Amino acid sequence: MPIRTAYTAKIEHLQILDEQGNLDTSIGRPGDPGMLTDEQLLHLYVQMIECRQLDEIAFKLQRSGRMHTYPQNKGQEACALGAGFAMRKGIDWIVPCYRENAAMFMHGVPMALILLHWAGDERGNQYPPGVRVTPIAVPIGTQMLHATGIAWAAKVQRKDEVAITFFGDGATSEGDFHEAMNFATVFNVPAIFFCQNNQWAISVPRESQMASETIAQKGLAYGAQVMQVDGNDIFAVYKAVYDARERARAGGGVTLIEAITYRLADHTTADDARRYRDSNEVEAWKAKDPMIRIRLYLEKKGLWDSGRQRAEEERAEASVKQIVDQVLSWPAPKREEMFDSLYADMPQMLREQRQQWATHSLGLDGSQSGLRSGSSAASH
């Protein structure tokens, strides 16, 4: 036979909790391995309320000139919460992009540091010891290489650790994505690539930046396990990441998860999405807000009501206000502090630069002493 099928594949899509708050128990019931319990869901929903409150306050801080910019997480919280909760705190690694606040908080990053980061304060990247979260990555795609390196190190050292890295649909058009995926799958490292497909790479729609029908299928080219999930369904996100984590721990290697979601706000506070997004599209996705479907589910089970919603919103408002007041009252950093956390042991070259910066003069460096006289001679 001159022609035969060399390769076939399928992409499975997972949804467990639908938009009306109905739970499909055909693959498991609450409390089964990979399935959230009602108590866990209550905990996660409270965290979601707090993160949504932080978004609103951070937006106001930027608009009032007290923060440079800020990328809201609104609409995508189920991705960060479900995935973060499936990873083991203090054991696994969270390698974020810049829209994973909920996962970062869950794994030990203080909320105040996120606000400091977006205010341009380097101290916002100095996480407490033992926190297995890498700093926010603003350059698109670079963090996937870091996650691959972390996972490779864990494999070489025979450590029971898994790294999960987050990125958007636009990042899969970057070379870093392909290099990281190729290396990670060739060396079969314990890594999870979690793509938050929120349909827009700033102002470029997904269909204008790739011809593939799904992002998940890109992982097939590298030999990764792949899955597409409803990214606004926290049950589906948790299940997919939990299974990928256990598979990685057992030596099953890399999983690429494509979570279908939507950013309900602008790309950042420096963006105006009304210039390129249709308002009808935004309204349709508002109905799919992960907060709505979780609340519907909890209300149907008698675990939530309007009184508790109001009480938790008030608690979140007070909690975030306290953190904001703390951040705004912190003394300004000293300029030379930019050198302090770059290396564990500062090289002599940086010590000299730090000293020169502090003295406001290159003239204190003997090796630079000829610059001024040379400049003077040249002028004659």
Residue 263 among the catalytic residues: yes
Of the candidates 276, 310, 351, 372, the residue annotated as catalytic is 276
Cite the residue boundaries of each domain of the chain with CATH code 3.40.50.970.
13-328
Of the candidates 99, 132, 146, 263, the residue annotated as catalytic is 263
Residue 276 among the catalytic residues: yes
pLDDT digits (tens, 9 = 90+) for 308-321: 999 999 999 999 99
Q: Three-state SS string across the chain, please?
A: CCCCCCCCCCCCEECCECCCCCECCCCCCCCCCCCCCHHHHHHHHHHHHHHHHHHHHHHHHHHCCCCCCCCCCCCCHHHHHHHHHHCCCCCCEEECCCCCHHHHHHCCCCHHHHHHHHCCCHHHHCCCCCCCECCCCCCCCHHHHHHHHHHHHHHHCCCCCCEEEEEEHHHHHCHHHHHHHHHHHHCCCCEEEEEEECCEECCEEHHHHCCCCCCHHHHHCCCCEEEEEECCCHHHHHHHHHHHHHHHHCCCCCEEEEEECCCCCCCCCCCCHHHCCCHHHHHHHHCCCHHHHHHHHHHHCCCCCHHHHHHHHHHHHHHHHHHHHHHHCCCCCCHHHHHCCCCCCCCHHHHHHHHHHHHCCHHHCHHHHHHHHHHHHHHC
Evaluate if residue 17 carries a pLDDT over 50: yes
Residue scoring higher pLDDT (337 or 13)? 13
Average pLDDT over residues 239-252: 98
Return mean pLDDT, the chain. Answer: 92
Q: Which CATH architecture has domain 13-328?
A: 3-Layer(aba) Sandwich (3.40)
Of the candidates 107, 267, 277, 295, the residue annotated as catalytic is 267
pLDDT digits (tens, 9 = 90+) for 81-130: 999 999 999 999 999 999 999 999 999 999 999 999 999 888 899 999 99
Q: What is the pLDDT of residue 131?
A: 97
Evaluate if residue 378 carries a pLDDT over 70: no
Average pLDDT over residues 181-210: 94
Among 178, 114, 188, CA closest to 145: 178
Average pLDDT over residues 269-289: 93
Give the whole-angstrom CA distance, residue 269 versus residue 59: 7
**How confident is residue 70, by pLDDT bands cut at 50, 70 and 90?**
very high
Q: What is the pLDDT of residue 380?
A: 42
Q: What is the pLDDT of residue 359?
A: 58
Residue 267 among the catalytic residues: yes
Average pLDDT over residues 173-202: 96
Model's pTM, two decimal places?
0.90
Evaluate if residue 302 carries a pLDDT over 90: yes
Evaluate if residue 26 carries a pLDDT over 80: yes
Q: What is the pLDDT of residue 262?
A: 95
Q: What is the pLDDT of residue 236?
A: 98
Evaluate if residue 368 carries a pLDDT over 50: yes
